[in-house]
Structure 1
Amino acid sequence: MTNTTPEDISVPVFEIDQPEQFGQFFLSGQRERLAHLHTLERQKALITVYLDDNRDFFLSSVLAVDDDEQRILLDPPNDPKLLQRAVASPQITLSGAVDRVKIQARLRHQEAVRHQGREVLSVPLPEQMLRLQRREFFRIETPRLSPLRCKLAKRQQDGRTEAFDYPLHDISGGGICLVGEKGHVGHFSLGEIFADCRLEIPGEHVLSVNLRIREISELETFHGDYQLRLGCEFYNLPGTRLTLIERYIARLERERKARESGLG
């Protein structure tokens, strides 16, 4: 198994950078953008803030939306140096979810200000925001007791190969979400492609799939701990393998409905 580094990728990482493909999902009106920002604020939703080069990021939330001043306040990172890098970045990208629909916003001219006795990140309202609801892929959570697993490998500069074996959180026809150790976060970069990953599908053969890292964040467990969450999309997936994955998803959905109706 091999991987491709982000330097080998010519396409943008974020959907907000691909208007030719996702233009219909852009929010053109300021009122609509404000409504989604207020929802993020009200729900205290966990968001990810990516710095300009997309390699550094931190988890945050929308603390306040000031309609009059046309600014939003973001919870800062715990590391003061990371806050300084965020302020110095030409732009930052906010990625979160409103009612399980992905929201991306491009922000510029950020600064550190005092708010309720501490430094926070203050940013003008975004001029670009994307609300991405991809209905073509039905996503379903995978079993917890006997989880599906996916194996990835990464070749280091010294020639060594480092392997990762992660359980799945959910799966769709477009990709998978993997859950790993929080300490592994530094091993992955946005846009990175892992080739020939081994995806175990119960009742089917182990599938070889290429994965592109689309989202890096943290997932809170029932015990209050945090794990690494990797949102991955299938890359150049042959139709025959997609059919096997969709067949498994359909089986999971039938089993779920049977349990809910008391027949399972």
Structure 2
Amino acid sequence: MMHGSDQSIEVLQPTQFSQEEIDENFRIHSEIDILFILRGIMQSNSLITLYPDYENDFILTSIVAIDADNKEMIVDYGTNERNCQKALQSKALIFVTTQNRVKIEFACDQIKKIQFKGENAFAVNIPRSLLRIQRRNHFRISTPIVKPLKCVIPITGKGTASKAEVALLDISCGGIAVIDQHPIINFDPGIIYSNCQIALPEIGTINATIQVKNTYEITLRNGQNCMRAGCQFIDLAASMEAMIQRYIIKQEQIRKIK
């Protein structure tokens, strides 16, 4: 259960989105992915701000148990009884927290007061969808070493067209880092490549425009020195960003198992 006073905690506010952003850009619907994220929040004992019916009054809480079979989770009861009663009477419960520097929001519409390990608690339904918001400081994940992701870059010049592949070092919703050792590709900062494709296993293929932002020398795990090029996505489509988010979640799940 939580300890400490509400006054010493920074309170997170629900994010204002357009309907298009909510539906396409950030929302996760997969039950497996939702449960994985919720368990991560519970295991890290992350503080959650709960807003009954989107009102200004809030409750500071945390997830203490998850029952996937019954599609229910247990969260801490608040310290303000008036706000707790308001939550019990509300039609929508908005939860806001962070995980790995990424803002997480979800809504529940079923709540009841229970006793959990001898203390008051709320039982709420597992949300049917979840917002994982990465507008700033995009969470990067390293790509597999054995079978790295590849970025296929179209090359045009003197009336001919060809394609070149470069290996990715990491990926986020904001961009990619690649190994700069291809004899044809120029990774000078500022250069833009359009119609680049990145195949995400079991997810789909990203089609994106990238702009080179920086290059510098790094040492790989095998001791080899090479140049790393950091590239930013330009006007990445919402559907492409959603695919990257699903890929990142899948890789996090795989690494948790190992």
TM-score computed with the length of structure 1 as normaliser:
0.45
Q: Which has the higher helix share?
A: 1
Q: Indicate the structure (1 or 2) with the bigger Cα radius of gyration.
A: 2
Q: Which has the higher strand share?
A: 2
TM-score computed with the length of structure 2 as normaliser:
0.46
Compare relative contact order (CA 8 Å, sep 6+) and give the higher one, 1 or 2. 1
